[in-house]
Amino acid sequence: MKIENAKKFGMVIDLDKCTGCGACMVACMAENNIPFREDDTDKLLSVSWMYVYRLNNGKPFPDYEECYLPRPCQHCEGHHGHSPCVSVCPSTATDYDMATGIVSQIYPRCFGCRYCMAACPYHVRQFNWWDPIWPDGMEKMLNPGVSVRMRGVVEKCSFCIQRYQAAKDQAYMEGGREIEEDEYQTACAQGCPAEAITFGDLNNPEHAVHQLAQPDPAHEGRSKNPKAFRLLERLGTNTKIYYLSSREWVRKAGDNYLNGEVKNKAHG
């Protein structure tokens, strides 16, 4: 389905700038009312819409190098909106919006079958194994624009869609004008002290994210920027998160290669 003036919100994360400070994760949790437990050390049981991986090149000192890789939902478009998780959901609790390119999650409709989690190779979909319990008083600091999720449903990064709604409402009240680039920014992009995260409309040549990512529409958005790569591009997921790195081993870490296709592989 072709939508006129469709936006395609996406993100560029400059890994050369990322220090791994985790501010993006904190900003995301505060903005989106992400629950946490007293002991949240088992990351396979906790909820982190934004998660920062620590990669290394697998070489001993002095050739050892590290890289931090923040991983939000990749908002896969696949082929014509056929993202890995959306098509498998049996109750239509997740949706690919052709008008924005955002993969949404409808919490009250999700019944927790977890098929979407199995289908997602990025592990961005996480399950609420427990009911959220907020420390005394903290419930007063919850974001009223974001619903709190209950036990037994899947959740994931929404590109802070509540901010898009608010920006659209504001623009509508002001005569139905177009929203500006800086009116809709995700919490992680705003929270990053190194300005490693750039967010905007990949379809809009005036947006910084478009200029950095240089998506090629003829090749499902593959970047023309030689420093840029997307995670697991070979799977055909057609993601909207572009990573920049000046280091080849980091760029190669973004995908799987057969023996002989690449010499240096990254290590987690």
Binding site for other proteins (CB under 8 A): 42, 44-45, 53, 55, 69, 76, 78, 84, 87-93, 109-115, 117-123, 125-131, 150-154, 231-232, 234-237, 253-259, 261, 265-268
Q: Which is nearer to other proteins, 5 or 259 (CB)?
A: 259
Rounded least distance, CB 257 to other proteins, Å: 5
105: β partners:
94
Q: Which is nearer to other proteins, 156 or 210 (CB)?
A: 156
Rounded least distance, CB 165 to other proteins, Å: 22
Q: Which is nearer to other proteins, 77 or 201 (CB)?
A: 77
Q: Which is nearer to other proteins, 87 or 170 (CB)?
A: 87
Rounded least distance, CB 81 to other proteins, Å: 11
Q: Which is nearer to other proteins, 59 or 151 (CB)?
A: 151
Q: Which is nearer to other proteins, 206 or 261 (CB)?
A: 261
Q: Which is nearer to other proteins, 98 or 166 (CB)?
A: 98
Rounded least distance, CB 53 to other proteins, Å: 6
67 and 250 in contact (C-beta within 8 Å)?
yes
Rounded least distance, CB 250 to other proteins, Å: 10
How far apart CA 73 and CA 168 sit, in angstroms, is: 22
Rounded least distance, CB 23 to other proteins, Å: 21
Rounded least distance, CB 28 to other proteins, Å: 16
SS3 per-residue string spanning the chain: CCCCCCCCEEEEEECCCCCCCCHHHHHHHHHCCCCCCCCCCCCCCCCCCCEEEEEECCCCCCCCCEEEEEECCCCCCEECCECCCCCCCCCCCEEECCCCCCEEECCCCCCCCCHHHHHCCCCCCEECCCCCCCCCCHHHHCCCCCCCCCCCCEECCCCCHHHHHHHHHHHHHCCCCCCCHHHCCCHHHHHCCCCCEEEEECCCCCCHHHHHHCEEHHHCCEECCCCEECCCHHHCCCCCEEEECCCHHHHHCCCCCCECCECCCCEC
Residue given tokens 């819409």 in the structure block:
49
